[in-house]
Amino acid sequence: MKNKNEFKIIKIIMTITVILILCVFLWQIAPLMTKLSTKEGQIAFKNKINTMGFRGILLLFGLQVVQILLVILPGEPFEVLAGMCYGAWGGYLFITISVFITNLIVFFTVRKLGKKYLYNFFQKERVEKVMKSKLFKNPRNIELVLFIIFFLPASPKDLFVYIGGLLPIKPARFIAIATFARFPSVITSTMVGAHISNGNWKTSLIIYGISFIVAISIIYFVNLKDKNKEFIEIMK
């Protein structure tokens, strides 16, 4: 019990630290973001990012890793920031490398420490609901279900990164799915960030709108084949 309380305190401190760092980062670039509708503003923003150099990469990498390790904030804001800083494809590569490293750490940590370790991050009831779901009882279904979850934008990916360590799935296959099935979700966010940095706010909204419609459509058709509504339940 004592260890659990200590972990919660550490998590709170790390959460506050990450939020403060993110606020400082945004505070530095906020004045430039208000001028992104002009060519001069776009050049000034990119020059600002370039002056941060390797420090900026390390900062964003650290925030991305901590976000997944401690499940502090949704990953989308960091993906958008990566797109703003490094472009759509550069941001995607940056996020993919960060996610790959974090997936390795989380998967093998959970495999070693077991189910109780998850209770430090998620409610016990939610973990149990997912683990008892019929979708994860059949080993042949597990990879497909995980692929759909990581493929969909705005799905609870962090929860399933942790739960993956408890499922009967080979480490290499899980890490590959958890890393590369995110492609539509991550590239959508980095494209939004890239368009924002170029002053194309309307294009960003259109991209997010399309991704939302696609996500809802996929969930709807998956749910049609699932008479027990299991898929929707584990996504809540």
Model pLDDT for residues 104-151, shown as the tens digit of each residue: 988 998 888 888 778 777 888 888 888 888 878 777 788 888 988 888
Helix H, strand E, coil C: the string for 162-231 is: HHHHHCCCCHHHHHHHHHHCCHHHHHHHHHHHHHHHCCCHHHHHHHHHHHHHHHHHHHHHHHHCCCCCHH
Q: What is the pTM of this model?
A: 0.73
Over the chain, what is the mean pLDDT? 76
Over range 41-60, report the average pLDDT.
70
pLDDT at 227: 45
Total structural domains in the chain? 1
pLDDT at 228: 47
* pLDDT higher than 70, residue 190: yes
pLDDT at 141: 82
* pLDDT higher than 80, residue 52: no
Instruction: Look at 46 and 129; give whichever has higher pLDDT.
Output: 129
Domain of 59 in residue numbering reads as 2-235
